[in-house]
Chain A
Amino acid sequence: MFLPRSIETDHKDLIHDVSFDFHGRRMATCSSDHSIKVWDKSESGDWQCTATWKSHNGSVWHVTWAHPEFGQVLASCSFDRTAAVWEEVVGESSKKLRGQSHWVKRTTLLGSRTSVTDVKFAPKHMGLMLATCSADGIVRIYEAPDVMNLNQWFLEHEISCKLSCSCISWNPSVSRAHSPIIAVGSNDNSPKAMAKVQIFEYNENTRKYAEAETLMTATDPVHDIAFAPNLGRSFHILAIATKDVRIFTLKRVRKELNSSGGPTKFEIHMVAQFDNHNSQVWRVSWNITGTVLASSGDDGCVRLWKAIYMDNWKCTGILKHHWSTVNVGSQLGN
């Protein structure tokens, strides 16, 4: 069962993203009011705002945490055409009071000529790297070669998607058998129906990202995309938020069949499709083990989807905001 805890955010406009850190003890929110707020969980379980700052000159679309190995680092992206990397600097006091920490902008990633719509840090084993995508349809991958120096980021790759991008997701697998993969979703709503999800894979030989797959079935604007935490799986699970919730599995076609050196292809199956939101679906988010997917839509509800057994997904809960009832079908998480 879930207990809703309502938080007074004091954001002056819409909140576009909320993000937990690696250990689940901190939370960052970003809003159209140009600000980012950082929340820390107190002993009693309350979320307390410990930092708020004006971060951009436009709506801040996304905020995301880097792996704590790199420090307390956030990245944000905005309508103002920039992405930024922020680091928490703790004051000189040896007591390290949380309240005395403040966030410093380490870099501004220019380059996009349009709104930067998403930013995501790469999995830790790839180093300190992040990808942004923008409304002009370009995915940019930046790397900080020196993890101690967050001021210096280099643009390593530019991938053209030809469609206005809205969301990206790194494949989180740590396996050496899986080369880095980025899935990009587009919310382009121009009438020509094109596939809105593209998957790019890093090719070791060419040292470039190349298009590996396109989800031909996803033709409606895609608002969010998320690879499930991999956790030792040999395949990948990808959720997209479009006019409904969809879950795909990506299984690699064996390399021998594709020895031409081109991008390895995937066998893609749509294992679930739910239109229970009965409206636009805005966000999808996986639990830590990649076994439960949460989605939220225009109906103002969060729905939880769980694989009962392989490839069979069921709704296990509907969460509504504080004044509504909360109902969870079955035990979750395991």
Chain B
Amino acid sequence: MEKMSRVTTALSGSALTGRTMHCHLDAPANAISVCRDAAQVVVAGRSIFKIYAIEEEQFVEKLNLRVGRKPSLNLSCADVVWHQMDENLLATAATNGVVVTWNLGRPSRNKQDQLFTEHKRTVNKVCFHPTEAHVLLSGSQDGFMKCFDLRRKDSVSTFSGQSESVRDVQFSIRDYFTFASTFENGNVQLWDIRRPDRCERMFTAHNGPVFCCDWHPEDRGWLATGGRDKMVKVWDMTTHRAKEMHCVQTIASVARVKWRPECRHHLATCSMMVDHNIYVWDVRRPFVPAAMFEEHRDVTTGIAWRHPHDPSFLLSGSKDSTLCQHLFRDASQPVERANPEGLCYGLFGDLAFAAKESLVAAESGRKPYMGDRRHPIFFKRKLDPAEPFSGLASSALSVFETESGGGSMSWFVDTAERYALAGRPLAELCDHNAKVARELGRNQVAQTWTMLRIIYCSPGLVSSANLNHSVGKGSSCGLPLMNSFNLKDMGPGLGSETRLDRSKGDTRSDTALLDSSATLITNEDNEETEGSDVPADYLLGDVEGEEDELYPLDTEHVHPEEPEYVLPQEAFPLRHEIVDTPSGPEHLQDKADSPHVSGNEADTASLAPVDSSSSLLSVSHALYDSRLPPDFFSVLVRDMLHFYAEQGDVQMAVSVLIVLGERVRKDIDEQTQEHWYTSYIDLLQRFCLWNVSNEVVKLSTSRAVSCLNQASTTLHVNCSHCKRPMSSRGWVCDRCHRCASMCAVCHHVVKGLFVWCQGCSHGGHLQHIMKWLEGSSHCPAGCGHLCEYS
């Protein structure tokens, strides 16, 4: 009946208005309670006991209940409760064990009504009966709960919690006679108020103290309990055994729990230490708070929903001496800010992608950006308790794998494994690597290797077959360009440009190089030069298609004149060509130009456009035939290495660096080299290419790198004969003076890979041991040990 009337008042009265606000109190609060009219709130603490009116914009102090000159411990409140039927009736629980009632209707300044001094220790909680006007219940640290009839001077009945401290007592809303109490040992008890001798039911709800409980306002027999174990549990008390319905894991011990009005599954919690925030949870989504209020700077001690039928206003008091009103819509929502997606690029180019299912599921009907994110789930719209829960949010995880196993990084692994970096003549290395690159479809890299070979190797080593092969593969657009293109036709633009270049910077180097080239070239063999033509041309433009036709002609014309060539416009056009646009047409060699080339050297001074441009190709001849010092190309090669590195292909940079060795090393500063080496080694190790990585470490010249495979590697070796630790260097045992590194299978001294069992110290050639172990698991030395190799 009472409840109905309250509903009516709430519905008929004007809607609550207000905003998020706070006011400063004189002292830390321990508890708060709201008047049934939702217009006033009482704040109680050790040294504060005041009533505030909640106005639209602010809290206004109405009444200070701490009156009297000398401070009394009776006024030091641990808890306060405002009667939900009688606006004038309040009860407080004092830290000295006194339960006090207050009558605001008293005319005098002192509103104290009754004083019950029956508890021996702090009273933790007081609770009015929801429908019975004169019944007050208290729970104390001394382990007793007492029921008072306010019309009498002392308690009606005492309930014993068996010496366990009582942390909370709450009358059931559903059953007139029932109340729940929670204890420091983790138990929850249900009592019938008429049966003080023993509890109706008892169960263990938490590990450690249960600090609070709250009955569900919609009389469903649900009880929420919160404990020091950081959990909130919801129990269905209607069944024979209390059944755990939900369990919410919070981040700190739970000091207070309050069901949210009109929202069947929401409850608010606050903590008594560490965490100052107030959380509102949807018990069906127990991992993530639905809302969070972060206003308080110290522990929140009391929370109360302002009106039993209004879900949007929450009041709270705190140790930071503030009283706050929180508006639900102002709460921060961790759910909303949480990242709903995970994305990670795998090593092999595969992608792991986890996303909220709603994001990936609904394809067509998706609303755009703003609407989609800003008005989600349950609490922002008009609240409807019966609203179906969208269900636990869940994510879908997919790994997008690159097709065909190795995927998009297989080129890296293959390249790393197949490249030859040392141990052979430079030309062979370059050819080999070019071939590897080409077979992996990396034409630009292949071209680079070929060019390097051309630049740095003596021309006689070039096999024309190989070159033809490479060119045929590398160029797809060669033919049309070939036919249509003619350096002459390019007009004066290019010519003048190159001339400018040349006149500016190159003259000095030209003359300087002239002598050396001239002397060198006298020894030149015709055959060699012919061979060298092909790559030279190739260097300039890799779109060449039919060099077979071209070169014979070329050589004829060019060769005789060579010794006199000045080194022309070398670096800039070349570099550009190679590095950025391998198929640039402007350096195409043309038959028609070769005669002009011959004329070039005579015209050095005049620099006719045509001559100068055609001299481009003569550069290469000159280079070859004269075995120009590779310094000549160092700028170009250096820039190329940098280019590859900046592009993320550190593999190429390092491989070239190693293969060319001293030829380029001096042009690249030590730090950069080290950077490349370490980056590449790191990458190799990612792919578990330990052998390659070690080879790179060994071949590197950077001191910081080459010591990498020596750091913290200690081998402790036992002699295979006397089984004593070998102390001296080398493989001869100090004690038995025998060579310890004998293969147990073939009885020869092992050079190279030596594998041995750590148990018996016997071992031998890797292949021999592997073979042996296929047939037997015993040690090949016959010592009887069951060897383990991993």
Known contacts A125-B678, A230-B679; is A298 also within 8 Å of B287 by CB? no
User: Which of the residues A17, A290, A319, A331 comes within 8 Å of B342, measured between beta carbons?
Assistant: A17
- Which residues of chain A have C-beta atoms less than 8 A from B688's C-beta? 23
A18 touches B354 (CB 8 A): yes
Query: Shortest distance in angstroms between B333's beta carbon and chain A's nearest beta carbon?
Result: 11
B343 touches A302 (CB 8 A): yes
**A15 CA to B338 CA, complexed, in Å:** 10
- Which residues of chain A have C-beta atoms less than 8 A from B275's C-beta? 81
9 interchain residue pairs of minimum CB distance: A333-B408, A24-B347, A175-B675, A15-B395, A283-B343, A18-B342, A232-B650, A300-B360, A15-B354
**A79 CA to B341 CA, complexed, in Å:** 16
Chain B residue at smallest Cβ distance from A284: B343
A333 touches B349 (CB 8 A): yes
B288 touches A13 (CB 8 A): yes
Known contacts A11-B394, A18-B352; is A282 also within 8 Å of B340 by CB? yes
- Which residues of chain A have C-beta atoms less than 8 A from B393's C-beta? 13-14, 32
**A23 CA to B347 CA, complexed, in Å:** 7
- Which residues of chain B have C-beta atoms less than 8 A from A198's C-beta? none
Known contacts A14-B338, A282-B341; is A232 also within 8 Å of B676 by CB? yes
Q: List 17 A-B contacts (CB under 8 A).
A: A11-B395, A15-B342, A15-B397, A45-B401, A61-B338, A79-B334, A175-B679, A176-B671, A280-B373, A283-B341, A283-B342, A285-B345, A294-B343, A296-B343, A298-B373, A324-B363, A333-B407
Knowing that A3-B401, A286-B345 touch, tell me 9 more A-B residue pairs with CB under 8 angstroms.
A13-B392, A15-B354, A16-B342, A17-B354, A18-B352, A228-B648, A279-B372, A279-B373, A334-B411
- Per-residue contact bits, chain A 319-334, to B (CB 8 Å; 1 contact, 0 not): 1111010100001111
Task: State which residues 251-302 of A face B: CB under 8 Å.
Answer: 278-280, 282-292, 294-300, 302
User: Which of the residues A115, A125, A173, A319 comes within 8 Å of B351, measured between beta carbons?
Assistant: A319
User: Which of the residues B250, B338, B650 comes within 8 Å of A231, measured between beta carbons?
Assistant: B650
- Per-residue contact bits, chain A 18-32, to B (CB 8 Å; 1 contact, 0 not): 111011100101111
A57 touches B394 (CB 8 A): no
B682 touches A174 (CB 8 A): yes
Interface centre among B351, B393, B642, B683 (most CB of A within 10 A): B351
Chain A interface mostly helix, strand, loop or mixed? Answer: loop
Chain B residue at smallest Cβ distance from A230: B679
- Residue B403 at the A interface, CB < 8 A? yes
Interface centre among B408, B645, B649 (most CB of A within 10 A): B408
A232 touches B653 (CB 8 A): yes
* Chain B positions near chain A (C-beta within 8 angstroms): 230, 249-251, 275, 285, 287-288, 334, 337-356, 359-361, 363, 366, 368-369, 372-373, 392-403, 407-409, 411-412, 442, 580, 642, 645-650, 653-654, 671-672, 674-676, 678-680, 682-683, 686-688, 788
**A278 CA to B369 CA, complexed, in Å:** 7
**A285 CA to B509 CA, complexed, in Å:** 48
Interface centre among B398, B409, B671, B788 (most CB of A within 10 A): B398
**A80 CA to B288 CA, complexed, in Å:** 11
- Which residues of chain A have C-beta atoms less than 8 A from B674's C-beta? 175-176
User: Which of the residues B288, B351, B369 comes within 8 Å of A32, measured between beta carbons?
Assistant: B288
- Residue A58 at the B interface, CB < 8 A? yes
**A290 CA to B352 CA, complexed, in Å:** 17
Query: Shortest distance in angstroms between A314's beta carbon and chain B's nearest beta carbon?
Result: 15
**A115 CA to B289 CA, complexed, in Å:** 13
B350 touches A24 (CB 8 A): yes
- Which residues of chain B have C-beta atoms less than 8 A from A282's C-beta? 339-341, 343
**A296 CA to B251 CA, complexed, in Å:** 30
- Which residues of chain B have C-beta atoms less than 8 A from A70's C-beta? none
- Which residues of chain B have C-beta atoms less than 8 A from A292's C-beta? 345, 349
Known contacts A80-B251, A280-B373; is A115 also within 8 Å of B396 by CB? no
Interface centre among B337, B361, B372, B442 (most CB of A within 10 A): B337
Query: Shortest distance in angstroms between A33's beta carbon and chain B's nearest beta carbon?
Result: 5
A231 touches B397 (CB 8 A): no
A279 touches B401 (CB 8 A): no
User: Which of the residues A34, A285, A288 comes within 8 Å of B686, measured between beta carbons?
Assistant: A288
Query: Shortest distance in angstroms between A208's beta carbon and chain B's nearest beta carbon?
Result: 24
**A124 CA to B338 CA, complexed, in Å:** 29
- Which residues of chain A have C-beta atoms less than 8 A from B372's C-beta? 279, 298
Known contacts A280-B373, A322-B398, A334-B408; is A287 also within 8 Å of B349 by CB? yes
- Which residues of chain B have C-beta atoms less than 8 A from A16's C-beta? 338-340, 342, 354
- Per-residue contact bits, chain A 151-177, to B (CB 8 Å; 1 contact, 0 not): 000000000000000000000011111
- Per-residue contact bits, chain A 64-87, to B (CB 8 Å; 1 contact, 0 not): 000000000000000111000000
User: Which of the residues A6, A33, A58, A289 comes within 8 Å of B397, measured between beta carbons?
Assistant: A6
Chain A residue at smallest Cβ distance from B677: A232
**A176 CA to B339 CA, complexed, in Å:** 35
Query: Shortest distance in angstroms between B142's beta carbon and chain A's nearest beta carbon?
Result: 32
B285 touches A333 (CB 8 A): no
B360 touches A320 (CB 8 A): yes
**A43 CA to B401 CA, complexed, in Å:** 14
* Count of interface residues, chain A, beta-carbon cutoff 8 Å: 92
User: Which of the residues A20, A59, A233, A296 comes within 8 Å of B287, measured between beta carbons?
Assistant: A59
- Which residues of chain A have C-beta atoms less than 8 A from B403's C-beta? 1-3
- Which residues of chain A have C-beta atoms less than 8 A from B650's C-beta? 231-232
**A324 CA to B346 CA, complexed, in Å:** 21
Chain B residue at smallest Cβ distance from A2: B400
User: Which of the residues B347, B399, B400, B409 comes within 8 Å of A47, measured between beta carbons?
Assistant: B399
User: Which of the residues B249, B395, B401, B409 comes within 8 Å of A31, measured between beta carbons?
Assistant: B395
- Which residues of chain A have C-beta atoms less than 8 A from B653's C-beta? 232
**A119 CA to B649 CA, complexed, in Å:** 29
Query: Shortest distance in angstroms between B666's beta carbon and chain A's nearest beta carbon?
Result: 18
Chain B residue at smallest Cβ distance from A46: B399
Task: State which residues 228-253 of A face B: CB under 8 Å.
Answer: 228-235
Chain A residue at smallest Cβ distance from B673: A232
Task: State which residues 154-210 of A face B: CB under 8 Å.
Answer: 173-177, 187
Known contacts A176-B674, A234-B646; is A12 also within 8 Å of B392 by CB? yes
B411 touches A233 (CB 8 A): no
B645 touches A232 (CB 8 A): yes
A283 touches B671 (CB 8 A): no
Chain A residue at smallest Cβ distance from B370: A279
**A307 CA to B649 CA, complexed, in Å:** 13
Chain B residue at smallest Cβ distance from A167: B339
- Which residues of chain A have C-beta atoms less than 8 A from B396's C-beta? 6, 321-322
- Which residues of chain A have C-beta atoms less than 8 A from B342's C-beta? 15-19, 29-30, 283
A32 touches B338 (CB 8 A): yes
- Which residues of chain B have C-beta atoms less than 8 A from A297's C-beta? 341
- Residue A145 at the B interface, CB < 8 A? no
**A85 CA to B49 CA, complexed, in Å:** 47
**A319 CA to B346 CA, complexed, in Å:** 15
A115 touches B334 (CB 8 A): yes
- Which residues of chain A have C-beta atoms less than 8 A from B394's C-beta? 11-14
User: Which of the residues A9, A61, A223, A232 comes within 8 Å of B679, measured between beta carbons?
Assistant: A232
Chain B residue at smallest Cβ distance from A124: B682
A234 touches B359 (CB 8 A): no
Chain B residue at smallest Cβ distance from A37: B397
**A145 CA to B345 CA, complexed, in Å:** 30
**A99 CA to B230 CA, complexed, in Å:** 31
**A129 CA to B338 CA, complexed, in Å:** 26
**A333 CA to B647 CA, complexed, in Å:** 12
**A320 CA to B366 CA, complexed, in Å:** 15
Chain A residue at smallest Cβ distance from B362: A300
Query: Shortest distance in angstroms between B677's beta carbon and chain A's nearest beta carbon?
Result: 9
A334 touches B442 (CB 8 A): yes
B249 touches A34 (CB 8 A): yes
**A158 CA to B401 CA, complexed, in Å:** 40
- Residue A7 at the B interface, CB < 8 A? yes
